[in-house]
Each structure stands twice: as C-alpha cells, then as structure tokens.
Amino acid sequence: MNGRDRAVSAADIARRALGVVGVSWALAGTAPLPSEVVRAALDAMGGATAVRSIARVRIEGVGYANGDTADGGRPAILVFAFTETRDDRRPRLVQDVRMMVRAGVSHRTVTTRTAAAGGAGMDAWLTEAPENVLLAAVDAPDLTSDSGGAVRFSWHGRAVRIEFAPHSSLPAVVVLRGASGDMRTVYSRWHRESHGIVYPHQWNVQQNGAPAEAFTAGRVIVELVPHRSLDGRAPLAP
C-alpha cells in the first residue's frame, strides 16, 4: 500500500467523524457535550469499538531530542532511531533506542516501563498514544469542556487537556500537567493503518513551552485483542 493510499485527508476523516452528530450540533445551535467531542474523535480514529480493542502498538522511526551538555554549554541535539512497543491493555512501554553519538558510532539502550514502576515512562504511555488519551477521557468521571472546544479531565490526580483539529475531530494537542510543569504533545501526519485504525506518524513534544523532542514513524503496526473480532466472524491478525 503506497503513501497516497495510506494517507488520510482531513476531509475524509471529518466525514467519518462528524456525520450525523456534527449535523445535529449545527441544527441545534448548541455546543456539543464533552463526551460527544471525545466520541467524535474516537470515530475519527476508526470507531470506539476498534480503538478500545487495540492491544499493542509498535512504532519504528527516527527523531531527535534536546539535551544538556555536561559543562553547561550550548544544548546538544541528540539524534536517534527507535522501536517502541506499547501494551495498551496491561500498561507497559518498551523503548529500544539507538542514539547516534557521532558519525558511524551509536549507543543502544532498551528500557521497559510498567504501570507499577510509574514515572515519566507512564506519562509517555498516555500522551504519545491518542487512543489511551481518548479512552481515559471518555471514562473519566470529571470530563468537562474547556476553552476553545477542548476538553479536560484528571488522570491519576493530574490535569489533562485535549485540543482537537477543527476540520477532522482528531486529537491535535494533549497537555499533561505535573509537578515539573506541563508536557505538551502535538500529533500530526495521520495515516490509516490495519483494521481501519487512523494513527499519527509525527509527534512534537514540549516541556514547559520549550521543545523537548520530535519523532517520526516510518512504520506503525496496530494489533487488536486476539480473541475479539469486530465483525463477529474471525479473530483479527495484526
């Protein structure tokens, strides 16, 4: 499948996401409920049932991060290639990163983070995965509307804000507030993957307003729960 077949236009996603719901909002002349906004985003990603059935997502790509030098000099730019495997059902994140030290020299690290261990790894498990953000929002008892058509809710006692693309209903920006400040993650370059799941291929992350890292996926593999079939006929393969 070539890039043109896989790329999803904003208009195409908007038709899938808004549908009758968008028409009803317009006719009623009222702002949608926060739960309706989140459900429209789930529809844009491929439907709430399909999104909730995601078991694992594997992402292969490249990126860069802004690092600090040991002597306090000019900040370093760290370039890396990575494979990230995220288990959505049993919160777990495995990051296999090969950092480019200099031309022809690299350093590889493999890090496994789990919900039991907590920490920044679980922040990434949430914020880098639009499906986890949306499902946490729709299940949150304190989900409410926020300014600019956004929604906000609490996740493990911390405030989360989701902003949506106006022409597609897809999540565009996620802001997670913590003790060390705000982490802002921007999603873009959405493509349709297996099982009809629409997924971003570009992430740009800011920490307290300063660029922290950016990475691009060359390949995204979405696996659904093995025993569940969306059409009731056969298990779905990755």
- Report all structural domains of the chain as residue ranges with CATH numbers, in order of start: 3-224 (2.50.20)
Condensed to tens digits (0 to 9), the pLDDT of residues 123-144 reads 999 999 999 999 999 999 999 9
Q: pLDDT value at position 54?
A: 96
Q: What is the pLDDT of residue 86?
A: 93
The burial class, CB within 10 Å (0-12 / 13-18 / 19+), for 211 is middle
**pLDDT range class, residue 183, cuts 50, 70, 90:** very high
Angle at 42 between CA 40 and CA 45, to 5 degrees: 115
pLDDT: is 95 or 4 the higher one?
Answer: 95
Residues whose CB falls within 8 Å of the CB of residue 120, separated by 6 or more in sequence, listed in order: none
Based on its alpha-carbon atoms, the radius of gyration of the chain, rounded to whole angstroms, reads 18
DSSP assigned state of 128: T
Return the pLDDT at 236: 35
Per-residue pLDDT reduced to its tens digit, 67-88: 765 555 566 788 999 999 999 8
For CA atoms 164, 154, 93, 181, give the dihedral sign: positive
Q: What is the pLDDT of residue 68?
A: 63
Are residues 150 and 38 in contact, defined by beta-carbon separation less than 8 angstroms?
A: no
Q: 237 pLDDT exceeds 50?
A: no
How much is the pLDDT for 96?
93
- Read off the pLDDT of each residue in 162-169 and give the average, rounded to a whole number: 94
